[in-house]
Amino acid sequence: MAGPGAATAAAAGGTLDYETVALSDDGKTVTLLDQRQLPHTVTYVHLTTAVAVADAIRSMVVRGAPAIGATAAYGLAIGATAAAAGHPSDDAAFRDDLAAAASVLRASRPTAVNLEWALDRLLRLVTPADGGGGGGGAKQSSPAAVAAALTADARAIAREDVDINRRMGALGAALLPPAARILHHCNTGALATVGHGTALGVIRSAYAADPGVSVWVNETRPRLQGARLTAWELAAAGIPHTLAVDSAAAVLLRDGRVDAVTVGADRVAANGDTANKIGTLAVAISAGHYNVPFYVVAPASTVDLACATGAGIPVEERGAEEVTHPCGGGGTDGVAPPGTRVFNPAFDVTSASLITAIVTEEGVARPPFSESLPPLVAAAAAK
Ligand code: MRU
């Protein structure tokens, strides 16, 4: 992992070695790059309980749907390892601890479905308490064996994420014209995933084949994931980019200065309605108005077929201080009069009718998404 000073290398356009999320070899410690400190400082936090991992997700030490999913999986794995050590031969107590760990992690952030997806994938490895045999006759795995299985699968989720992102990168890059000028909202890069990125992965893949690619970076109020994180990643990769305030996106689209918009997703409903960082909807409306293609790039694990439309997607509302004291307020009194009432939804839902295509690792879905998405999700599940 990178040490202090790496952020400076990134700002200078140099190479950068960093890891967003990692699990120690002994399976007891989750290490996260503290994204709250970027772009100025590269520091890592080391967490040894599921509760601490849930707190880190809630406070956005780590963020971005696939990164949250992998982190939650690691959190459950360390929770299982601790529970197995505490109750090596008490299956009921082990299961109680495991359920408590899963529940605190599940409650940490509501919108990104990758979090639930990862927890549910791991929990499917736990044999039902009755042994699944209906009569209680089947032999149970030991707590240690269950913890080992969960840890192995959590590592697999992280490994697979990078491969999935590279596949989406290739599929998405093929949609872009030569020397594409791409508008990007929020951060969907290596910091939002385990590596490479989703929408930013498409940009990475496109740039690798075509150095004429350039990026408009939406700053992404209020937490400035675009300014703080995407600009940092693009600088590290040497990809030409320009930072703009969110409200400039409509002007860029109107003036023909954008060839395509690429964004990630936190949850895609069965009909294609897509939850992503607040501000995405405004970009999609402008892109539709000016006939610029609007691409969502998201792994199959972000598609929630159980959610019929965007109306069923839970949208997280966050604290007023994110708006009144951007970047922690920098020690100032904030940017609004004390006590100002604030509306701070972390996400919005873009209607499927505004989306040109949804790029998944199994292929590119086109409207009608209710028909094109299910086979791609099924193909991913079959692997
Ligand atoms: O609140 P955040 O920073 O977790 O929101 C992240 C986003 O909205 C991303 O665009 C989304 O998770 C896709 S990340 C590959």
pLDDT tens per residue, range 25-43? 999 999 999 999 999 999 9
In this prediction, residue 131 carries a pLDDT of: 54
Percent of the chain with pLDDT over 70: 92
pLDDT of 14 above 50: no
Q: Which residues lie below 8 Å from residue 225, measured CB to CB, with a gap of 6+?
A: 63, 186, 187, 277
CA distances to 14, 31, 118, 299, 314 from 114, rounded to whole Å, are 32, 19, 6, 9, 13
Residue nearest to atom 15 of ligand 1 (CA): 188
**Does ligand 1 have an atom closer than 6 angstroms to the CB of 299?**
no
Which amino acids are annotated catalytic?
266
pLDDT of 340 above 50: yes
Give residue 133 CA to ligand 1 midpoint distance, Å: 41
Q: Which residues lie below 8 Å from residue 267, measured CB to CB, with a gap of 6+?
A: 65, 111, 112, 113, 274, 275, 302, 304, 307, 313
Pairing mode of beta strands 260-263, 241-244: unpaired
CB 191 within 8 A of CB 20: yes
How does pLDDT run across 64-82, given as a tens digit for each residue?
999 999 999 999 999 999 9
Give residue 312 CA to ligand 1 midpoint distance, Å: 18
**Where do we find the tokens 């108005």?**
289
In this prediction, residue 136 carries a pLDDT of: 43
Mutation choice for ligand 1 from 200, 277, 278, CB with most ligand atoms inside 8 A? 277
Pairing mode of beta strands 241-244, 214-218: parallel
Region 266-287: what's the mean pLDDT?
98
**Does ligand 1 have an atom closer than 6 angstroms to the CB of 65?**
yes
Give the mean pLDDT of the chain.
93
Q: Both tokens of residue 284?
A: 């999609």
In this prediction, residue 276 carries a pLDDT of: 98
Residue nearest to atom 10 of ligand 1 (CA): 264
Query: Amino acid letter at 344?
Result: N
Query: Amino acid letter at 48?
Result: T
In this prediction, residue 373 carries a pLDDT of: 98
pLDDT of 129 above 80: no
Give residue 233 CA to ligand 1 midpoint distance, Å: 15
pLDDT of 15 above 80: no
pLDDT of 297 above 70: yes
In this prediction, residue 332 carries a pLDDT of: 66
Give residue 203 CA to ligand 1 midpoint distance, Å: 16
Region 81-91: what's the mean pLDDT?
96
Region 226-249: what's the mean pLDDT?
98
Give residue 130 CA to ligand 1 midpoint distance, Å: 39
Mutation choice for ligand 1 from 221, 225, 263, 303, CB with most ligand atoms inside 8 A? 225
In this prediction, residue 348 carries a pLDDT of: 98
In this prediction, residue 17 carries a pLDDT of: 73
Confidence class for position 130, pLDDT limits 50, 70, 90: low
Mutation choice for ligand 1 from 168, 186, 294, CB with most ligand atoms inside 8 A? 186
How does pLDDT run across 160-187, given as a tens digit for each residue?
999 999 999 999 999 999 999 999 999 9
Region 278-295: what's the mean pLDDT?
98
**Does ligand 1 have an atom closer than 6 angstroms to the CB of 114?**
no
